[in-house]
Chains A and B, each alone.
Chain A
């Protein structure tokens, strides 16, 4: 089930909320777990079993790690845990890609498994691994109650698209939390803003990006319109989903950490990654980069560590060489910034923002393109075009110019800043407007959702 679906919005969510608040506190976690499993099983019931398997395995791994903490064999338990988790993830997400790559590289014709990717497997695998690692590091006490652990991994707001919530962030909240009307109202606001980001801005920009990326012989103008639209689509899609997750969690009294912080105003690639998908970046930092030695090793090893982290970051996003290249691309820029570029960029704030934005846009070309030749052709159209402008670019600009402009402004802190100023200066009227705005966004987002299924049948067109 998706947050941006009518069944979720008008049946699942109100039912779960009502029952949750009617039930005595003792049963609330149980109810959330049942609701989360239904949420996940809706549409793909068989994969719910896979997720439960992951929960069960990691529950026992954590118990063993805790029990054998002082024993020398604990490292083997950790090793097994990593192998099992990455093995599951690897089979479902990367097996086809791996065999295809081997076949292409060595001219073989091994059988390529057609494995369906279970929804959210990358997220819940990382949730589960971080739990066992945190227990190993002694950051949290082991969870004896398997249902509470299952709730941590399967909690529906963060189950299918993150953010990657660390166990230590919500361990105490699972045991004991205080739901308040203040949190609920803030949750509603956050959720509706996320919903409208996704349904109005991301989907609108997505239509432009899809249209452009499906065209051939792009003019320079069209190529830039297409990649700007895609950058906005992916930002509003993902940050909108994170907003919805954070908002939903607040409605149930959970406090998640932020996952986005206006990444497109960054002054360097390193800063971009401190503002984009923060929970993934910090996961790789804490569970890969730092264990490899982080910054406390020789410069050469630091660069090696960065290379490993960024290749993995690329691969995490998808099983394709274009994703690996995308990760490597960022790795290279971050290394250059670490070496010397960062110091240069610090001296020129405006130039560095524009420079970073261009680098990020070029990066998105790799992320969006199916193949390398497609990506190269697209970048060629952006920088060394055959044609500067054409009618298709005029069409996109006339049709979607205002949408793209609104989205560009919404991707900066300006609306939030202005909104807060208005609310503070208008007092009670401002407060009323703020909450009214949330309801307006709910209606507009619902309208966009329903309109996306508007399917007029126009008989034979003559």
Chain B
């Protein structure tokens, strides 16, 4: 069945001159496209970091004899060239469009885009095992310990029947079990079940200022703290579209529109002294993050400039308020400024403190009155860290 390459019927029927013009156009445009992208990549100044991918890009390789002989330098060169490729971001977006609009794929890089444009991370199917260390910690610290476990977007979307079962994998069932297990470890549950999907960003896994404010009210009420809700005049809206971590994974093609990131004006938090990395007077709200241009600016860092290993937030005017030890992840960041209006906070981000860090000792040292764990329910990956450090 071997056949020589045959000219197509069309090639033999067309007027020769037009066909020939098209052949020249194809030939020239093919070489031009390849050369433009190739030379453009070589000539252009190398980029150090990709905002889209939120990572450092590969840099040029100094070849060595050994590297060439083993082929390792060639592979590095390949990575470097692909990372620095001209129009890289555009190509990534085109491919995402193909996946979304031609192949109709609702998932991209593991993120499911629901019909209401909310991006949802599929839930892991196994139960989260709560380490014995939590129970031990509750005993050692000898203070009331609270757990505010925000349901993930997956849990809420499943509850509202917005996602197919293979995305959720019984997320609610596992969430409720986790809450029960924390209670069994001696912690008081501060239920955040009243949160709605609209309390979360569409394109990010975090809650928005509404979700954070709702959580603040629940926490202060249940912990017996005063609640200071900001008036409407303090609320500010970032004029830029906010594309969060999930849009970064799917690319903009999957995001029907960006989110709007609201926050409370810095002046509302006057008098709160924020200290971390050995320095006080840090901003509670850093508006530089909402002023930056770019689709993938991490605007969520407007709150406290993101995550820090150990931080304190105290009111200079009222040092006699209760002191709460907050053990948290990035979910807590928009809540902490509000919470600092009601109590003095000693904050530990368990992910960033060294392995030798002892939370119980820290709590005693800071003479705390109570402990608050403030997390999102996707904390399976944190359990080992807590087991080591509690």
* Contacts from A to B (Cβ < 8 Å): 5-7, 9-11, 13-14, 17-18, 42-46, 181-182, 184-186, 188-189, 192, 200, 204, 246, 250, 255-258, 261, 274-275, 278-279, 282, 391-392, 394-395, 398-403, 406, 420, 423-424, 427-428, 430-432, 434-435, 438-439, 442-444, 446-451, 453-462
B-chain residues with CB within 8 Å of residue A42 when the two chains form the complex: 71, 74
A402-B249 CB under 8 A given contacts A282-B2, A439-B26, A455-B53 = no
Complex Cα spacing A352 to B353, Å: 67
A-chain residues with CB within 8 Å of residue B85 when the two chains form the complex: 6, 10, 450
Complex Cα spacing A449 to B42, Å: 18
Are A46 and B69 within 8 A (Cβ)?
yes
B229 within 8 A of A: no
Complex Cα spacing A247 to B91, Å: 23
Are B34 and A189 within 8 A (Cβ)?
no
Are B378 and A461 within 8 A (Cβ)?
yes
Are B10 and A435 within 8 A (Cβ)?
no
Stretch at the interface among B102-110, B128-136, B183-191: B102-110
5 contacts between A and B (CB under 8 A): A188-B26, A406-B102, A406-B103, A439-B33, A457-B54
CB-CB nearest in chain B for A44: B71
Are A186 and B5 within 8 A (Cβ)?
yes
* Contacts from B to A (Cβ < 8 Å): 1-5, 7-11, 13-15, 18-20, 22-27, 29-31, 33-35, 37-38, 41-42, 52-55, 68-69, 71, 74-75, 77-79, 81-83, 85, 88, 91-92, 94-96, 98, 102-107, 109, 121, 164-166, 169, 205, 245, 248-249, 251, 329-331, 351, 375-376, 378-379, 381-382
Complex Cα spacing A455 to B81, Å: 15
Interface centre among B68, B74, B79, B91 (most CB of A within 10 A): B91
Are A188 and B8 within 8 A (Cβ)?
no
Are A456 and B54 within 8 A (Cβ)?
yes
Complex Cα spacing A132 to B139, Å: 83
B-chain residues with CB within 8 Å of residue A204 when the two chains form the complex: 103
Task: Tell me, rounded to whole Å, the shortest Cβ–Cβ distance linking A120 to chain B.
Answer: 15
CB-CB nearest in chain A for B72: A43
CB-CB nearest in chain A for B109: A456
B-chain residues with CB within 8 Å of residue A45 when the two chains form the complex: 68-69, 71
Complex Cα spacing A275 to B1, Å: 7
Are A442 and B30 within 8 A (Cβ)?
yes
CB-CB nearest in chain A for B34: A14
Q: Among the listed B27, B106, B381, which residue makes an inter-chain contact with A184, where contact means beta carbons less than 8 Å apart? A: B27
A11-B38 CB under 8 A given contacts A6-B85, A181-B24, A447-B91 = yes
Q: Among the listed A13, A399, A431, which residue makes an inter-chain contact with B107, where contact means beta carbons less than 8 Å apart? A: A399
Are A274 and B94 within 8 A (Cβ)?
no
A456-B55 CB under 8 A given contacts A10-B37, A184-B23 = yes
Are B13 and A455 within 8 A (Cβ)?
no
Task: Tell me, rounded to whole Å, the shortest Cβ–Cβ distance linking B50 to chain A.
Answer: 9
CB-CB nearest in chain A for B248: A456
Are A13 and B34 within 8 A (Cβ)?
yes
CB contacts between A and B, total, < 8 Å: 211
Complex Cα spacing A343 to B29, Å: 52
CB-CB nearest in chain B for A438: B26
Task: Tell me, rounded to whole Å, the shortest Cβ–Cβ distance linking A310 to chain B.
Answer: 18
Q: Among the listed B14, B41, B205, which residue makes an inter-chain contact with A10, where contact means beta carbons less than 8 Å apart? A: B41
CB-CB nearest in chain B for A427: B14
A-chain residues with CB within 8 Å of residue B75 when the two chains form the complex: 43
A185-B4 CB under 8 A given contacts A399-B106, A402-B104 = no
Are B27 and A181 within 8 A (Cβ)?
yes
Are A394 and B68 within 8 A (Cβ)?
no
Task: Tell me, rounded to whole Å, the shortest Cβ–Cβ distance linking A401 to chain B.
Answer: 8
Are A9 and B34 within 8 A (Cβ)?
yes
A424-B13 CB under 8 A given contacts A11-B81, A204-B103, A456-B249 = yes
CB-CB nearest in chain B for A451: B95
Complex Cα spacing A181 to B26, Å: 9
CB-CB nearest in chain A for B110: A458
B-chain residues with CB within 8 Å of residue A391 when the two chains form the complex: 165-166, 169
Are B22 and A435 within 8 A (Cβ)?
yes
CB-CB nearest in chain B for A454: B92
Ranked nearest first, the 8 interchain pairs of A and B with the lowest CB-CB distance are A10-B38, A451-B95, A185-B23, A462-B329, A450-B91, A447-B95, A457-B55, A447-B94
Complex Cα spacing A451 to B93, Å: 8
B-chain residues with CB within 8 Å of residue A250 when the two chains form the complex: 5
A-chain residues with CB within 8 Å of residue B10 when the two chains form the complex: 420, 423-424, 430-431, 434
Task: Tell me, rounded to whole Å, the shortest Cβ–Cβ distance linking B316 to chain A.
Answer: 31
A-chain residues with CB within 8 Å of residue B24 when the two chains form the complex: 181, 185
B-chain residues with CB within 8 Å of residue A460 when the two chains form the complex: 329-330, 351, 381
Complex Cα spacing A6 to B75, Å: 12
Q: Among the listed A186, A401, A444, A459, which residue makes an inter-chain contact with B94, where contact means beta carbons less than 8 Å apart? A: A444
A-chain residues with CB within 8 Å of residue B91 when the two chains form the complex: 443, 446-447, 449-451
Complex Cα spacing A205 to B35, Å: 30
Complex Cα spacing A455 to B251, Å: 11
A-chain residues with CB within 8 Å of residue B83 when the two chains form the complex: 453
Are A400 and B18 within 8 A (Cβ)?
no
Task: Tell me, rounded to whole Å, the shortest Cβ–Cβ distance linking B378 to chain A.
Answer: 6
CB-CB nearest in chain A for B54: A457
Complex Cα spacing A188 to B33, Å: 12
Contacts A184-B23, A391-B169, A435-B22 supplied; 7 other A-B pairs, CB < 8 Å: A7-B81, A189-B26, A424-B10, A431-B18, A434-B22, A456-B53, A462-B379
A458-B41 CB under 8 A given contacts A246-B5, A424-B9 = no
Task: Tell me, rounded to whole Å, the shortest Cβ–Cβ distance linking A254 to chain B.
Answer: 10
Complex Cα spacing A443 to B94, Å: 9
Complex Cα spacing A72 to B10, Å: 54
Task: Tell me, rounded to whole Å, the shortest Cβ–Cβ distance linking A100 to chain B.
Answer: 26
Task: Tell me, rounded to whole Å, the shortest Cβ–Cβ distance linking A165 to chain B.
Answer: 11
Complex Cα spacing A250 to B5, Å: 10
Complex Cα spacing A5 to B29, Å: 20
Task: Tell me, rounded to whole Å, the shortest Cβ–Cβ distance linking B173 to chain A.
Answer: 15
A-chain residues with CB within 8 Å of residue B35 when the two chains form the complex: 14, 18
Interface centre among A10, A42, A192, A395 (most CB of B within 10 A): A10
Are B5 and A255 within 8 A (Cβ)?
yes
Are A428 and B18 within 8 A (Cβ)?
yes
Q: Among the listed A17, A200, A398, A462, which residue makes an inter-chain contact with B330, where contact means beta carbons less than 8 Å apart? A: A462
CB-CB nearest in chain B for A423: B10
Complex Cα spacing A188 to B330, Å: 51
CB-CB nearest in chain B for A249: B5
Are A188 and B27 within 8 A (Cβ)?
yes
Are B98 and A439 within 8 A (Cβ)?
no
B-chain residues with CB within 8 Å of residue A438 when the two chains form the complex: 26, 30
Are B29 and A439 within 8 A (Cβ)?
yes
Are A444 and B18 within 8 A (Cβ)?
no
Task: Tell me, rounded to whole Å, the shortest Cβ–Cβ distance linking B98 to chain A.
Answer: 6
Are B74 and A278 within 8 A (Cβ)?
no
Complex Cα spacing A46 to B72, Å: 12
A-chain residues with CB within 8 Å of residue B13 when the two chains form the complex: 424
